[in-house]
Amino acid sequence: MKINILKVMFSALLMLFLIGCGNDKPTLVSSDSVSINASDAQEEVTGADDSAENSKVSYVYVHISGAVNMPGVYELESGSRLYDAVELAGGFREDAKEDYLNLAGLLEDGTQYIVPTKQEAAMMAVSQEAAAPMSHYDKDGKLDINLATKDELMKLSGIGETRAQAIISYRDGGGVFDSPESIMNVSGIKEATYNSIKDQITANGG
């Protein structure tokens, strides 16, 4: 009898133990979940790298000289304008031609910017004007046949190389055109030719 009671108690304890073990099932983690978590971690690292890269600031080096208070080489952030560099150089001197350069222009790395004085700017303007080719056209756009070159004459209606050379030879021989009509004194140029070019020519340079 006592043995039977012990068997019953042992069986009951065994059942309770098995039931308890059945409830403590291990939790399985799927490979998809692990892959997603790893991907998220990689994105966070990549994002941090991109942020660090974007935070890097690049610079340009320019030489500011001429009519500024502190000429020299200056370091500025890329995207800076010329007026930023002039400010770093102490601003313009009193004799500076401030509007000679485009102060709103973007700075180019390794470039020298020379601010001229007012006197220097005036002298450069005169020099450029003197170097410009002389115009043989009047204010109305008419060609002066006393001064025109062979190429300019050939641009006139009905004037080819032969007639243009005839006009040059006439002038070289001492001939002077005192009026547009006098171009008909040139051999080979008749009234029909004159009528085709009379609105394109003048004779002021004689």
Quote the pLDDT of residue 34: 45
**pLDDT > 70: percent of the chain:** 69
Residue 65 DSSP SS3? strand
Rounded distance, CA 16 to CA 40, Å?
44
The pLDDT of 60-69, averaged and rounded, is 97
Q: What is the pLDDT of residues 130-148, one digit of tens each?
A: 655 567 888 888 999 999 9
Residue 10 vs residue 67, higher pLDDT: 67
DSSP string, 124-178: HHHHHHHHSPPP-B-TTS-EETTT--HHHHTTSTT--HHHHHHHHHHHHTT---S
Which helix (H) or strand (E) covers residue 38, if one does? helix 31-54
- CA 43, 45, 47, 50 dihedral sign is negative
Q: What is the pLDDT of residues 151-181, one digit of tens each?
A: 999 999 889 999 999 999 999 998 999 999 9
CATH no. of 143-202: 1.10.150.320
Question: Structural domain boundaries of the chain?
Answer: 59-130, 143-202
CATH no. of 59-130: 3.10.20.600
pTM: 0.44
Q: What is the pLDDT of residues 91-129, one digit of tens each?
A: 999 999 999 999 999 999 999 999 999 999 999 887 776
